[in-house]
Structure 1
Amino acid sequence: MLCALDPERVAICRADVSEAADVARYITMASEKWGAFDVLFSNAGNPGLIAPLASYDDEAFDRTLRIHARAAYLACKMAPPKMRDAGSIIVTSSMAGVRGGSGCENNIAYTVAKHAQTGVVRAAARAWAHRGIRVNSLNPGPIDNPFQLEIEQRLSEATGKDITRTIDDDIPLGRHAQPEEVAKVALFLTSELSGFLTGHIYAVDGGLAS
């Protein structure tokens, strides 16, 4: 069901998050509409190309890094001048940025890009600490949503294994996360409850990285 969007509460800006001019445009639009803001959630991504390393496409590799690592870098660079002090930046990464996991050898671009985001978060956390702006990484494990399931289907086809079952068997809690469970951690990172936390990785993974 489609719901009407309240133009006073929601604004849409089409942008390529890997392009500096587009990032500057969406940040400027938000600040002009609502003034200085408190939270930036860098949540763009793509699944990356599924292919063996020996035949991996170089342009696909570069594009995946731009969408994940460069986009996070640009957001962390350009947003704070338009933010209030003591704000919060959240960068969505992945457990692929902490551990490879089954199938990572067939999606090197995604794995490398997510590791790179960790570097962006840690550097940006120190860069903006003098203003009290916190920068943290939200690293979900497998989520029960179409984006994740498409990746797993493609990995299953590439490896000849049931990757979804393999992943669930590897997760101590034995299942994929629900989207709401990730959203609750994001909400925590925007709130005063996380007011002294910055530069950290928050794994929502059912114990996968343990």
Structure 2
Amino acid sequence: MKFSLNNKQAVVTGGGSGIGKAISLALAEQGAVVHILEMSEENAEDTAAHIKDMGGSAFTYGCNVAVQEEVKAAFTAITAERPIDILINNAGIAHVGNLEKCTEEDLDRLYNVNIKGVYNCMQAGIASLKKTKGVIVNMASIASSVGINDRFAYSMTKGAVLTMTYSVAKDYLADGIRCNCISPARVHTPFVDGFISKNYPGKEKEMFEKLSKTQPIGRMAKPEEVANLAVYLCSDEASFVTGSNFPIDGGFINLNGS
């Protein structure tokens, strides 16, 4: 079977909802044992239940990726019997606002999750990944590569994810570790629906269509489409791929304005 991940040990942060849930399900469908690190243990258990209903194997860990001690404890438990093969750094948070509307607290909050959280998980997992010549996939964003209105803090953090990806890919070539990142444009997740409902009450349909059309292809991505790309990058079929950034953006980066 192409893209088989049979019996691979995979860690997915933020695997309880949205893109992370879709990635967890897709990895499990290809045979991986999925370990879900989540702030919301209820969401994590829901994803794990879906995986088990499919006949797969999943485990959950209540974990704030911004807290190094919690991350280390989770990885210690996960790797107690065998090392991991795959690390998906998906957990992240957003902020809307330009420089003037970004407080120090906002900046610190995004840094702690989106940058330090990725650092914490890669550092906790790297020794294990060396043993398996494993794979890291980090979730970046189109905001890593192009300017997005009112995304000052978010763009800063996702730019860091992109360059951390390049750095780790370079430093661990000799260890056989591959490290890549995925840069989605807008993806239709519960977060998007909640954002629209909160900020545009009564205009939900209008705003959904407007945001969808910011992608030249005319719609938002589905979480499953991002998950399928993650599966490829984790598989042996992608064995020649490292140190790369993969936009999945409906043409946003290259086709806007054309």
| TM-score above 0.5, yes or no | yes
Aligned identity (percent) is: 24
**TM-score, scaled to structure 1:** 0.85
* 1:140 partnered with 2:187: no
Write the distance in 2 (CA, Å) between the matches of 1:132 and 1:62: 34
* 1:108 partnered with 2:155: no
Q: Contact 2:84–2:132 (CA<8 Å) still a contact in 1? A: no
Aligned to 1:11: 59
Deviations 1:52-99 (A, max 9, x none): 432322111111011011111222222120123331101111112122
Aligned-residue Cα RMSD (Å) equals 2.3
| Between 12-21 and 116-125, the greater mean CA deviation after superposition | 12-21
Q: Contact 1:153–1:163 (CA<8 Å) still a contact in 2? A: no
Aligned to 2:117: 71
- Structure 2: state its 5+ residue gaps: 1-45
Q: Structure 1 residues 172 and 87 mapped into 2: Cα distance closer, same or farther (>3 Å)?
A: same
Q: How does 1:150-189 map to 2 (within 5 A)?
A: 150-151=194-195, 164-189=208-233
SS in 2 for 1:35: coil
**Count of residue pairs brought into register by the alignment:** 199
Write the distance in 2 (CA, Å) between the matches of 1:13 and 1:25: 10
Q: Structure 1 residues 155 and 109 mapped into 2: Cα distance closer, same or farther (>3 Å)?
A: farther
Aligned to 1:24: 72
Q: Contact 2:142–2:247 (CA<8 Å) still a contact in 1? A: yes
Deviations 1:103-148 (A, max 9, x none): x32x311111111111111111112111110111111111111123
| Between 75-84 and 110-119, the greater mean CA deviation after superposition | 75-84
Aligned to 2:85: 38
- Structure 1: state its 5+ residue gaps: none
